[in-house]
Structure 1
Amino acid sequence: MSLKKALFTLIFLLLNLTFEASAQDTIQPSAVKSKKAASYKISRAADDLKESLDANDEVEIAKNYEKLAEGFIERGDNAKAEEYLKKALATYTKLKRNRDQTRVTRSLAKVQESQKKISSAIQNYEAAGAASMEKSEEQVNRNDANRLRSANSPAAQMNYSNANIKLLEKEDKKAEVADAYVQQAEANLQQKNKEVAIESYEKAISYVKDKPEEVVKLKTEIAKVYASDNQFDKALGISEKLLAEAEKTNDFDTQIKQLQTLATIYFKKNEPEKAIQCLKQAYQLALRQGKTAEVKTSVLQLLQYYKANGKDKESIALYDDFFQNFDKLIRNDSSLIDEKTFQVTEEKIRQLEKEKALKDELIAKKNTFNYVLMGSLLLLLLLVGLIVKALYSIKTKNKEIALQSLRREMNPHFIFNSLNSVNQFISQNKELEANKYLTSYSHLMRNMMENSNKDFISLSSEIEQLKKYLDLEHLRFQDKFDYQIVVDDALDTETTFVPNMLIQPHLENAIWHGLRYRETKGLLLLKFELNRGKVSVIVDDNGIGLTESAALKTRNQKVHQSRGVTNTSERISLLNGLYKTQIDFSITEKNSGTTGTLVTITFPLLDKI
C-alpha cells in the first residue's frame, strides 16, 4: 500500500507542477477554429496595443485593451480578461467616453460574475446602469445587479432574467438573450425544476445557432441535467451525437470533452467498463493532440477509479504510459507555447506601459515648468512695485500683530463690569456671592494671561475659558438668560485649534446688548460644528435683536460694540494673512418670526499650528 500511495502522490504532484502554467484548465469546450481565432485575436490585439502605447494614442490604447480582453474571454481565461477590461475602463473613464465606459463596465461585471466575484459584479452592473444613456440599457444592468443580489431566491432571479429577455429581444441582442435563458435554466435547477431548465437551455440554443462551440456547450449542459435526473439514455444520446459530429469535423477538443462526459454518465449508470473505455480514448486522443489539460483530467479520473477499486496494476501501467509520453506531450502542446509567447509579449506591453507613464510624467512636468516660467515672467514685471508695497505691508502687519497681542487681554469693559458686580454684591451684603464671583473671575483672568501670547489654542481650552466667562455673566444676570454649549461629536476638542478669544466679544454683545433687555429669560446657544472640513462657530441668542438694541444704546455702548466688531474683523484679516487660512465672519439679525442675533465664524479644521 505504501508503494501505491507513493505512486499516486508522485503522479498528482507532477501533474499539478506541470499544468499550473496552462490556461486550458479554465477553458470551456469550443471548436478548433474558434480557439485558433481567439489566439490570433489576442496576438493581433497585443501587437496593436504595443503600437498604440508607443504612439501614446489613448483612444487606441483603450480599444486594444478591450480587444485583448475579448480574446481572453473567447479563450475562457476570464482572469486575464478582467485585468485588461479594468485597464480599458480606466482609460475610457479618463477620456470621458461615456458609451465606451458603459459597455466595458458591463463586460467587466459579466466576467466577474463568471468568476463568482459577486460583490464586484453587482457594483459594476450598477455602475453600468448609472452611466447608461438609454433607459433599456440602464434597466438591463439594474436587473442583473438585482438578480445577483437575489442569490437565495431563484424565483426572483427568474423574474429579473425574464425582464431582461424581453428588453434584449427588442434590441436584437441574441448572445445576451441566450445568456439570460442560461441564467433562467440555472435558477430552475436550483428549484429542482429540471424539465423547465432543459427548455430554457433549448431556447438559448436557438439564439446561438451560428456559434457551434456555444451550441455544444449548451447541449452538454442538457446532457448533464438528464444524467442528474437518471435519464441516462437521453444523456448518452446527446453526448454520442455530439461526439459523432465532432469526429466528422475533426474537432478534437469536443471529442475529448464528450468522451469525458460519456464516462461520467456511464459511471452514474453503474457501467464502469464503458466509462473506463471512454476515459482511455479521451486520454489517448489528448496525448496525440497535445492537449495537456485534457490529459490531466482523464488521468485523474482513471486514477481515482483505479484507487477506489484497488487496481494497482492498471495504475502502474497508466503511470508508465504517462511518463513515456510526457516529453512528447509537452512538445506537442501548442497552448503552452502560445502562453509562453504571450508572456514575452505581455512583458513588452508592461515595459511600454511604464515608458508611457514616464512620458506622461515628463510632459506634465514640462507643462508645469512652462506655466511656472510664464508666471515668473509676469511676476518679474510686477516685482519692483510689489517690493515697496510688501515692505510697507510687512512693517504695518508687524505693528498690528504687536498691537493685537495686547488686545488679547480681557476686554476693559468686561473688567469694569465685573468689578462693579463685586461692588454690588458687597453693598448688598452678599459676601458668599462676591467671594464666588471673585474666585471665578481670578481663574478666568489667569487663563487669559496664560494664553495671551497665543493666536490659536485648543478647542477644549477655548471652551473652558468661554464657560468660565459665561458662568460669571450668568451669576450676574441669572434671571435674564440661560446658556448652552454644544460641540459636534466629530470634533476632537484636544487636537482641534481655534482662534484665541475671538468668540468672547460676541457672547458679551449677545448678553449685554440683547438678552439683558428681555422681559423674560432668554437663551444663549454656542455651537461648534464640523461641516465639510470646516469648523463653524455659531453664537445664537433670542435677545431683542440688532435694531431694537441700537435704539436703546447709549453713545458709549454704540462705540464699544462697533469697536468690538471692528476688532474682530481686523483680527480675522491678520490671522488670514499670517497663517494663510480662510476665516469668515458674519452677523445677521433674525427676522423669521423671532427676535435675536446670529453670529457665525467659520474657519478650516486645524489640527496643528
Structure 2
Amino acid sequence: MFWTVVFVLGFQFEMVAQQDSIVPKYKSKKAYPVKISKAADDLKESLDSNNELKIAKNYETLAKGFSNKQDFAKAEEYLKKALASYTKLNLNSDKTRVARSLAKVQESQNKVNAAIKSYEMAGAASNDKDAELINKNDANRLRNVDNPAAQMEYSKSNVRLLEKEDKKEEVAEAYKQQAEASLVQRNSEDAILNFTKAINYSKDKPEEVVKLKNEIAKVYAADNQFDKAITINQKLLDDAVKQNDFDTQIKQLQSLSTIYFKKEEPENAVASLKKAYSLASHYGKTDEVKSSLKQLLEYYKSNGKQKESMALYEDFFKNFDQLIKKDSTLIDEKTFQVTEDRIKQLEKEKQLKDELISKKNTFNYFLIGISALLLLLVGFIVKALYSIKTKNKEIALQSLRREMNPHFIFNSLNSVNQFISQNKELEANKYLSSYSHLMRNMMENSNKDFISLSNETEQLKKYLDLEHLRFQDKFDYEILIDDALDTEVVLVPNMLIQPHLENAIWHGLRYRETKGLLLLKFELNRGEISVIVDDNGIGLTQSAELKTRNQKVHQSRGVTNTKERINLLNELYKTNISFSITEKNSGETGTVVKIVFPKIEKV
C-alpha cells in the first residue's frame, strides 16, 4: 500500500513537471525576477534591431539573472553568446569580464576543464596585470583539484589582490574557496573561520549571508556538534519569520529536520518537516512540497507507519489543485519560455541575416540599391499621393467649416438695423458687441477641426444669447453637460452644432404662438458623447410648408454641410461620428437632432 502511495505521489508531481517540460528547472522556484524578464524583453528589441553591442550587454544581464537564480546552465549559455558578441566587437575589457563570469558558472557546474580555459581566456584578454594574475591563479587552483594545500595558496594570493581592488564579492568567493579546501583537509575550524570571513565581505548581500551560515551549520553537523548547528539554523529561521521570508523559513525547517535526524531526534525532525510541508503547500512551492513530502514518506516507510503515510497522501491530494493554482512560477516559467522561444527565433533570423550579408557581392549590393531606390521612389509617390489626398480633404473640411451662414450674417446685421431704426441704440450696441465677439471666436477657431468642449459651449452660448436677444419672446434655452465630462480636456468637432441650433430657432421656435424651449445636451454613454439639440418648435413638416425657396435651400445646405463634414472627419481622423434628425410625434411638436462621436481627448 505504501509503494502505491509513493508511486501515485511521484506520478502527480511528474504530471506537474511535464506541464512545463520545456521550461528550465530552477533550484529556487521563485517567480522570475524583474531583471530577467526585463533583460529578455530588451534582448528581443536589440536582436530585432541587430544592435551587436546591446545584444551582448543584454545577454550578459540575462546570464547574471540566471546565475543569481542558480540556473548555471542557462547562465553559461547566455554568457557564451555575450562573449562571442564582445569578441566580434573586439572589446577586450568586456571580454575579460564575461570570460571570468563564464569560468565561475562552469566551475559551479563542476566543468573543471572548461572553467580553466575560460579563466585563461580572461587572463589573456586583460590589459591589467593584477586581473591577469587573478585569473591565472584561479586556473591553477582548478588544476590542483587534488592538492587542497596548493589551492589554498592560490586563493590567498587572490584575496590579497582582490582586497587591494576592493572587490568584496570576489573576496568573499575566495574565502569560500579556502573554506572548501579546508574541509577537504578535514580542518573544520579553519573552514568555519574562512566562511566567517566570507560573511564579513557579504554583509550587503543577505541571501549570500544565509547560504554561508548554512554552510557553517553543515560543518558543525558533520562534526556532530548538533546543538551549534541547530542554533544557527534556528536563528536563521527566526529572522526569516520576522521578515516574512517564507522561502528561507522552508529551507531552514528542512535543514533543521536533517540535523534532528542525525541527532536521532526523529520527533523534532518530523515536526520540522511537517511545518516545511505545510508552509510550502500554503504558498504554492511545489518543489519544496515534493522535497518535504519525500523525506516524510521515507521516514514513515522505514518505521512502518503506513497510517501516517496514508494521512499525508490524502492531505496532499486534497490540496493538490490549490497547490498548483498557487504556484505562480508555472505561469511565469511558461511566459518566459514564450519569450525565450522568440529570442531563439530572432537569433536564427540574425544568423541568417549575418550569413546573407557576409556572402553578398558588389552585384548583389547594386541590385539591392536599385531595389531600394525603386521602393523609395514608389514610397515617395504613394506618400505624396496620400498627402495630396489628405490635404484636399483638409482643404474641403476647412472650406465647409468656414462656410458662414449668409442668413445668420444678414439677419444679424438686419437686427442691428432694426434696433437702430427703433431708436434702441443700447440694444443695438449690445447686440453688435456680442456679435463681434462671436465672430472673433469663430475666426480664431476657424483653422481647427476639434476644439475643447468648454470652448465650444462658450461659443454656442454667445450665439444663443444673440438669438435670444432678437427673439426673446419666442424661446428660452438651456445647456446641460454631463458631470462625467471634463470640458477642458474633451474635444468636440468645431462648428458642427451651431447650424442645427440656428435651424431650430429660425425654422421651428420663432413660428410658435407661445414661448418655446431649446435644449442642448452633452451626454457621455459607454465612451461616446451624444450631442442632442431638442426643440419644441413647429416641427419639420409644418416648417416645410411655411418656408420660402431660399429658406429651404439654406436648411438643406445646413444638413448637407453637416453630413459632408462628418464624412471628412471620419476619413481623416478614423472616427465614427453619426448624425440623425427626427421629428417628434405622439402629440408633441418639435425636432430632435442627435450627433454621436467617440470621446476624444487628443487629436
Q: Which TM-score band (shorter chain)?
A: 0.5 to 0.7
Residue 372 of structure 1 deviates from its aligned partner by: 8.9
Aligned to 2:234, which of 232, 240, 245?
240
Residue 19 of structure 1 deviates from its aligned partner by: 3.7
Kindly provide the amino acid, as one letter, of the partner of residue 27 in structure 1: K
Going from structure 1 to structure 2, the CA distance change for 1:63 and 1:26 (only over 3 Å counts) comes to same
Going from structure 1 to structure 2, the CA distance change for 1:12 and 1:182 (only over 3 Å counts) comes to same
* CA contact 1:25–1:293 (8 Å) conserved in 2: no
Residue 369 of structure 1 deviates from its aligned partner by: 3.0
Residue 249 of structure 1 deviates from its aligned partner by: 0.6
* CA contact 1:109–1:120 (8 Å) conserved in 2: yes
Going from structure 1 to structure 2, the CA distance change for 1:359 and 1:283 (only over 3 Å counts) comes to same
> Could you say which residue in structure 1 is the equivalent of 2:290?
296
Aligned to 2:126, which of 132, 147, 151?
132
Give the number of equivalent residue pairs: 366
Kindly provide the amino acid, as one letter, of the partner of residue 211 in structure 2: K
Aligned equivalents of 1:256, 1:323: Cα separation in 2: 20
Q: Say whether residues 1:70 and 2:68 are aligned partners.
A: no
> Could you say which residue in structure 1 is the equivalent of 2:7?
9
Instruction: Give deviations 1:321-373, integer Å, cap 9, x for gaps.
Output: 11111111111112221111100001111111122223323433444535799
Residue 53 of structure 1 deviates from its aligned partner by: 0.9
Going from structure 1 to structure 2, the CA distance change for 1:16 and 1:373 (only over 3 Å counts) comes to closer
Going from structure 1 to structure 2, the CA distance change for 1:28 and 1:349 (only over 3 Å counts) comes to closer
> Could you say which residue in structure 1 is the equivalent of 2:462?
none
Residue 242 of structure 1 deviates from its aligned partner by: 0.6
> Could you say which residue in structure 2 is the equivalent of 1:267?
261
> Could you say which residue in structure 1 is the equivalent of 2:357?
363
> Could you say which residue in structure 2 is the equivalent of 1:27?
27
Q: Which stretch shifts more, 205-214 or 315-324? A: 315-324
1:170-209 aligned at under 5 Å gives the runs: 170-209=164-203
> Could you say which residue in structure 2 is the equivalent of 1:492?
none
Kindly provide the amino acid, as one letter, of the partner of residue 60 in structure 1: K
Aligned to 2:94, which of 90, 100, 104?
100
Instruction: Give deviations 1:473-499, integer Å, cap 9, x for gaps.
Output: xxxxxxxxxxxxxxxxxxxxxxxxxxx
Instruction: Give deviations 1:16-41, integer Å, cap 9, x for gaps.
Output: 44346488964369xxxxx66x6100
Aligned equivalents of 1:306, 1:358: Cα separation in 2: 58
Aligned equivalents of 2:170, 2:177: Cα separation in 1: 10
Identity %: 65
Aligned equivalents of 1:179, 1:193: Cα separation in 2: 19
Aligned equivalents of 1:98, 1:244: Cα separation in 2: 47
The RMSD of aligned alpha carbons is 2.0
Aligned equivalents of 2:69, 2:119: Cα separation in 1: 23
Going from structure 1 to structure 2, the CA distance change for 1:26 and 1:348 (only over 3 Å counts) comes to closer
> Could you say which residue in structure 2 is the equivalent of 1:312?
306
1:313-328 aligned at under 5 Å gives the runs: 313-328=307-322
Q: Say whether residues 1:349 and 2:338 are aligned partners.
A: no
Going from structure 1 to structure 2, the CA distance change for 1:17 and 1:163 (only over 3 Å counts) comes to farther
Aligned equivalents of 2:190, 2:93: Cα separation in 1: 36
After TM superposition, which residue ranges in structure 1, 4 or more long, deviate above 6 angstroms? Answer: 22-25, 371-374
Aligned equivalents of 1:54, 1:129: Cα separation in 2: 33
State TM-score, norm by structure 1: 0.58
Q: Which stretch shifts more, 357-366 or 70-79? A: 357-366
Residue 219 of structure 1 deviates from its aligned partner by: 0.5
Kindly provide the amino acid, as one letter, of the partner of residue 15 in structure 1: F
* CA contact 1:46–1:68 (8 Å) conserved in 2: yes
Q: Which stretch shifts more, 3-12 or 175-184? A: 3-12
Aligned equivalents of 1:177, 1:160: Cα separation in 2: 13
Aligned equivalents of 1:343, 1:7: Cα separation in 2: 33
Kindly provide the amino acid, as one letter, of the partner of residue 343 in structure 1: Q
1:537-576 aligned at under 5 Å gives the runs: none
Residue 298 of structure 1 deviates from its aligned partner by: 0.4
> Could you say which residue in structure 1 is the equivalent of 2:430?
none
SS at match of 2:204: coil
> Could you say which residue in structure 1 is the equivalent of 2:328?
334
1:274-293 aligned at under 5 Å gives the runs: 274-293=268-287
> Could you say which residue in structure 1 is the equivalent of 2:598?
none
Aligned equivalents of 2:91, 2:336: Cα separation in 1: 29
SS at match of 1:151: coil
Instruction: Give deviations 1:500-557, integer Å, cap 9, x for gaps.
Output: xxxxxxxxxxxxxxxxxxxxxxxxxxxxxxxxxxxxxxxxxxxxxxxxxxxxxxxxxx
Instruction: Give deviations 1:190-234, integer Å, cap 9, x for gaps.
Output: 111001100100000000101110111111111111111111111
1:198-597 aligned at under 5 Å gives the runs: 198-370=192-364
Aligned equivalents of 1:161, 1:217: Cα separation in 2: 20
* CA contact 1:42–1:68 (8 Å) conserved in 2: yes
Kindly provide the amino acid, as one letter, of the partner of residue 45 in structure 2: E
Going from structure 1 to structure 2, the CA distance change for 1:114 and 1:205 (only over 3 Å counts) comes to same
Aligned equivalents of 2:363, 2:149: Cα separation in 1: 62
Aligned equivalents of 2:95, 2:355: Cα separation in 1: 24
Aligned equivalents of 2:227, 2:4: Cα separation in 1: 39
Kindly provide the amino acid, as one letter, of the partner of residue 171 in structure 1: E
Going from structure 1 to structure 2, the CA distance change for 1:25 and 1:262 (only over 3 Å counts) comes to farther
Going from structure 1 to structure 2, the CA distance change for 1:135 and 1:301 (only over 3 Å counts) comes to same
> Could you say which residue in structure 1 is the equivalent of 2:108?
114
Instruction: Give deviations 1:271-307, integer Å, cap 9, x for gaps.
Output: 0000000000000000111111111110111111111
Going from structure 1 to structure 2, the CA distance change for 1:109 and 1:25 (only over 3 Å counts) comes to same
> Could you say which residue in structure 2 is the equivalent of 1:18?
16
> Could you say which residue in structure 1 is the equivalent of 2:154?
160
Going from structure 1 to structure 2, the CA distance change for 1:261 and 1:24 (only over 3 Å counts) comes to farther
Aligned equivalents of 1:182, 1:367: Cα separation in 2: 55
Aligned equivalents of 1:24, 1:236: Cα separation in 2: 33
Going from structure 1 to structure 2, the CA distance change for 1:278 and 1:40 (only over 3 Å counts) comes to same
SS at match of 1:310: coil
* CA contact 1:19–1:293 (8 Å) conserved in 2: no
Kindly provide the amino acid, as one letter, of the partner of residue 104 in structure 2: K
Aligned equivalents of 1:67, 1:326: Cα separation in 2: 36
Going from structure 1 to structure 2, the CA distance change for 1:344 and 1:144 (only over 3 Å counts) comes to same
Aligned to 1:147, which of 141, 144, 156?
141
> Could you say which residue in structure 2 is the equivalent of 1:470?
none
Kindly provide the amino acid, as one letter, of the partner of residue 65 in structure 2: G
State TM-score, norm by structure 2: 0.59
* CA contact 1:24–1:293 (8 Å) conserved in 2: no
* CA contact 1:182–1:204 (8 Å) conserved in 2: yes
